Structure 1
Amino acid sequence: MDEKPSTRKSPEFCSLRYGLALIMHFSNFTMITQRVSLSIAIIAMVNSTQQPGLFNTSTERPLAFTFNHSNRSIKEFNTAEVSVYEWSPETQGIIFSSINYGIILTLIPSGYLAGIFGAKQMLGAGLLISSLLTLFTPLTADFGVILVIVIRTVQGMAQGMAWTGQFTIWAKWAPPLERSKLTSIAGSGAAFGSFIILCVGGLISQALGWPFIFYIFGSIGCVCCLLWFTVIYDDPLHHPCISIREKEHIVSSLVQQSGVLSSLPFIAAASCTILGGQLADFLLSRNLLRLITVRKLFSSLGLLLPSLCAVALPFVASSYTTTIILLILIPGTSNLCDSGFIINTLDVAPRYASFLMGISRGFGLIAGIISSTATGFLISQDSVSGWRNVFFLAAAVNMFGLVFYLTFGQAEIQHWAKERTLTRL
């Protein structure tokens, strides 16, 4: 007798998605240690009380004296043969803040870059760049404080790319009921990294010299990059090592969520239609605005707001929540036009309202055919830049229609649509 395939899920902590969370935990651990390394090392880097190094001592000392003090001499070499810099407190403050400036610069562009290159490549590149710059920090310090500030700023830009790119990956890897667990495992790497660097950073500086703080944690970052580019994939569908059971579990859970999300734009559209109609009639009943002003106001809102949301979409792709909100607002706010130019036919020609509405709906169907064809053409060239061009084109069409309506729109009954009264002789 054939047995039905088991629908029981595999143990969670043996699954690939939890392995991904651990690697991301390691990545966050690495990035925070690289970020805080300078805060620990700078205590020794600007310590002007360091004594001259081993090689400044006299070479005429007896050989036996050298052997008896070999252990102490090695320790002196490790701690005293490193550079010391005359950086004022103001200069140190600029150095510390430069990495934060870099992070801020990439918060918005990182979503756009993730859409072009993929979250895996962007996050991995950010981690690799940050690790290499950490390794070269002791060398750049010898060339001047300006170069250190530049290096730290670029490092902040790299880390900004890596921080925000994580959420793009979790949008495709984390089932809705496991997102809190997975993201907490990954995010806890930053707290653990802060604890470790504060505990061992001073010991490394004292035992080996402050440059080794950068060498050790920069090297750890490079090892993490090897794991990242080898194990991590942008989505479970293309991972060669994922089990069929886990792949089906992740995909099915995200399809179920998509069904709920797909209904939200219709709820938003219905809500905006009802609220827009109520508000428009309220403004007219209280004589707050003229009829043509109300029509142009709601037409402006119904065309301008979704256009702004569409233009913003490519730049917030790294934020799953923001993307969903914008996708809900686009059809929702566009229905404000129902109280604008769509109902305007009842104002200018109530006698022929049905006929004019049929014509306008016909043009709408033609627009749907053209837009579908144009979208397919743009996406076939490149899926990422194609969708961006689709959003920009839709916004441009909306703006053209809005300017045209604001210029020529009217609300008075046209002379050709007025009822003709018959007179008897």
Structure 2
Amino acid sequence: MEPEEREDRTPLLKESQLGAVRACCSARYNLALLAFFGFFLLYALRVNLSVALVDMVEPNASLAKNTTFHVCPEHSSTINVPRNTTIPGGYLASKIGGKLLLGFGIFGTSVFTLLTPLAADLGVGYLIAVRVLEGLGEGVTFPAMHSMWSSWAPPLERSKLLSISYAGAQMGTVVSLPLSGLICYYMNWVYVFYLFGTLGVLWFFFWMWLVSNKPETHKRISHAEREYILSSLKDQLSTQKSVPWRPILTSIPVWAIVVAHFSYNWTFYTLLTLLPTYMKEILRFNAEENGFLSALPYFGCWLCIILSGQIADHLRETQSFSTVYVRKCFTLIGMIGPAMFLVAAGFIGCNYELAVAFVTISTTLGGFCTSGYSINHLDIAPSYAGILLGITNSFATIPGMVGPVIAKVLTHNNTVGEWQTVFYIAASINVFGAIFFALFASGEVQDWAVSSYHFHRN
């Protein structure tokens, strides 16, 4: 390990330097918990349709005919793929504040979820329109949260705080998949939308009441915590009113995140969209068995996100590992690990238990990326973190559009050899992204990201 990777040039402000600033019941950890429940509900609202849809439509006997050659006895797996965020979401968060944008994003999604049963009765066009409007509300949430953490997360607690808040997305999927199935079985599918929609509206009122955009305007924060947060961020935030678009778009560390995010999402979509197709067409997993198997990978990812966030900040604070070293290591684990198991998935034959294990391990290891490239936006440009996330995630939507098309072209005969090629391509892209990030990523606040243009390291 190189000396410059072991030590930060500008030491990070440790909590002990300002005295004891408790984490329990603090404003910043309360924000993380409220965000956790917000993303929990957001992803619950995303996946509920995939479960309720089984009871919403009449089975079509003609669909039972399948000319595909199946290799194995019948089994099943289905997994929902979340949407991505865009550049406008990050820009709006920087202008109107993350609190309102995230709050109304989830509130709007909840309201349209409540309207879903009515839209379904009116016709498929209305249902599609409602889901599109839900997507618009969801699309601004991650940039909004990144924008808020730029003012709330002390550098040495970023991994912990962000991992707690974003882990709600995984837990929302874990809980909502089986719960939605139970509601459909024992009650009626409409209550799936009514329950989660109502909870989302209730969350919105707590969010608006308890949360503030910045520590300076929070009504219940302690003086010690406010000073701790502001002191730790005083040299990292910009007072510029205009966005430095040219430096952002020509920044190598920014493009390192773009490449990593793009590459990770390629494998992400392969695992969560194409691998279930492989299991259905080749391994013949049965749809009736999908509840637990669909939730298991998300639970593993949730656990990994929480633990990796704690470990990342522990390495930075007590072991004096530099920010860039931790980000690179966690990204390498979170991208190369899933790539290896993705390749292995092409050689599992009819071993169903191994197939489930590979999916779970791959998705679990991907959780390391939350404390890797996923929050590196805050390391290099805290004031523009929401905008950077919007940029990187816009590129990261491309695999969701291109990946399935390429896979369809390559697997027209649905043979094992064709699917192995699909897995090789996805794994290669993932490894390339991990190596590119390891070579060009930075843990330093970039000079264009601070108004004084001084050089800082965090």
Report the TM-score when normalising by structure 2.
0.45
Q: Which structure carries more helix by proportion?
A: 1
Larger Rg: 1
